[in-house]
Amino acid sequence: MHAVQCKMARVALGWGVRDLAKYAKVSTETISRLERGEKLKPRTIDDIRAAFEAAGIEFIPEDTKGPGVRLREPI
C-alpha cells in the first residue's frame, strides 16, 4: 500500500486518522508515518489494509497511471 492510497481510502470512507487507527488497532502516529511515506513493518501494513478492506475498499495496483483505490459495490 502506498501513502497516497491510504489517504485516498480514508477520504472515500470519510475517516480521519483516528478512525483508521481505531479500526486497524494501531496508533495515530503509525497512520501519520505511513501517510508521510515512512516504512512500516509488513504486519502493520497488513493490519491497516485489512481494516480498509473490511470497510469496503479495494486497492488498485500501480500501473502507468499510478496506484489507486475504489469502493466495492454492495453485494
Taking the whole predicted model, whether its pTM rises above 0.85 is answered as yes
Distances (CA, A) of 40 to 23, 25, 36, 74, 75: 17, 14, 11, 31, 33
Q: Which domain holds residue 40?
A: 3-71
Number of other residues whose CB lies within 10 A of the CB of residue 30? 21
Place of cell 491497516: 48
Question: Which CATH number characterizes residue 22's domain?
Answer: 1.10.260.40
Total number of domains in the chain: 1
Please tell me the distance from the alpha carbon of residue 17 to that of residue 67, in angstroms, as a whole number: 20
Span 30-71, pLDDT tens digits: 999 999 999 999 999 999 999 999 999 999 988 778 888 989
